[in-house]
Structure 1
Amino acid sequence: PAQMMHPAGPLAAARAGAVLARLTPALQAEAADLAATLREIETARALQREGIADLASGLAALEAARDQLGGAIAGRGAEDPPEAALRAGRDAETLTALAAALARQPGGGGAEAAASGDWLWPVRGRVLAGYKAPDASGARRPGLLLGAPALSLVEAPSDAMVRYAAPFLEYGYVVVLEADDGTLIVLAGLAQLAVSAGAPVARGELLGLLGGRNLEVEEYVMLPDADAGAGALETLYIEVRHGGGPVDPGPWFAGENG
């Protein structure tokens, strides 16, 4: 009893005992909460490891599929454009001038028609610059600039004839399609072509691929949620020429993109 006596006396010993009687259960409850939190963290880490493994497997399969598609595109051996198209490409200094030159060639132009509103968007992405809106350099272009994930498939918006499919200036590969009503669709910024000039294409048919690269697993994990699905965006420029000049492409496409 003497050893258990508080130095300040019996009253202080009683007070210390009361404090410990309340403190010990509280510490035990906190320890139990920490143990439960630790178990949740361990479970989350295990799920994260499984998710990363699944993501790595999916990315590897995607890379293999893209390589196979790229090989198939390369195996088609795109033909050189007709001489008239080549001459138009050499003489034109802008995409609008190229489209205007192609429209003047035989087969260019056609029936007057209002915007159809049922074309497919060539890529699934978002509009970065609208019709005649200033782009990053301040230039106002008579078309739309779309942002899409790297290596996106570029598809034909409608049934059309390929009037031009070749590199053009700094735009990479450019495809100019002539729809059934004579409307010209200019698509600029492709990294690979799957069609050649003079070939007919159906609505939704593959025209080529955008550039870029697949993200690594670590990049997907570290990127913010808003960017993890796409990474750095590639761009595709769309210009529509109808009735003698460029028009707003937006009304020609079905619904909102993205």
Structure 2
Amino acid sequence: MESPVAWLIGASSGIGAELARRLADAGWQVALTARRAERLEALCQASPAQLSSFPGDVTDPEGLAALAARIEAELGPVELCILNAGDYEPMGLDDFDVSLFRRLMEVNYLGVVHGLAAVMPAMRARGRGQILITASLAGYRGLPRAAPYGATKAALISLAESLQPELAAEGVRLRVINPGFVKTPLTDKNRFEMPFLMTTEQAAEAIMKGLHNDAFEIRFPWRFALMMGLLRLLPNGLYLRIARRMVSA
């Protein structure tokens, strides 16, 4: 298929912006969605033949559905959809804030649900397509000072695991991207040393490599992924003792 169409939601900065460039270089016709239209337009100027701006908000399900129809009408069938929009704010116990939980859940979790609702019907009707959900290694275990964020990412992993079997039976691939720490404006909010910190270029390269295998999960960097995977296997009592040491560090 010449110039297959990819829809990248959450493309205006960070991993999304770098991934847009990589997809365009690889020959994809990429529809870019984010709230900040001016950033999308600036990004499209680098490769106007391959990148197209379709501004939208993941908290608007009707708007996303309309965008999906418009993209397919103007560019063609969406073969790859990457649901990458997300928000992050660290929160310690003294700053416990219900509104922060609500905000992150609406963007990180329900934003993906809205994206799935927009893109799945056409893919299911065609019996093909690939959907990638950007979750996080932070969804493996509850990490100190990350309760609002980590809960959304754990929910995304569970969501993908729940939907994958039925979608696979219909020819649609649903997968998750689980990054570790990547240097972006969001992780710049952290005030601790982030282990195995990656650049957005390294993260985008890992995702591009992952597009060509059949694994359910694309996770990186491998050392941190291994570490978090081992923590996932620990008995709760042992893990929580380790977590208490993280708090006191």
TM-score, with length taken from structure 1: 0.20
TM-score, with length taken from structure 2: 0.20
Q: Which has the higher contact order (CA 8 A, sep 6+)?
A: 1
Work out which of the two has the higher radius of gyration on C-alpha atoms and give 1 or 2.
1
Query: Where is the strand percentage greater, Structure 1 or Structure 2?
Result: 1
Query: Where is the helix percentage greater, Structure 1 or Structure 2?
Result: 2
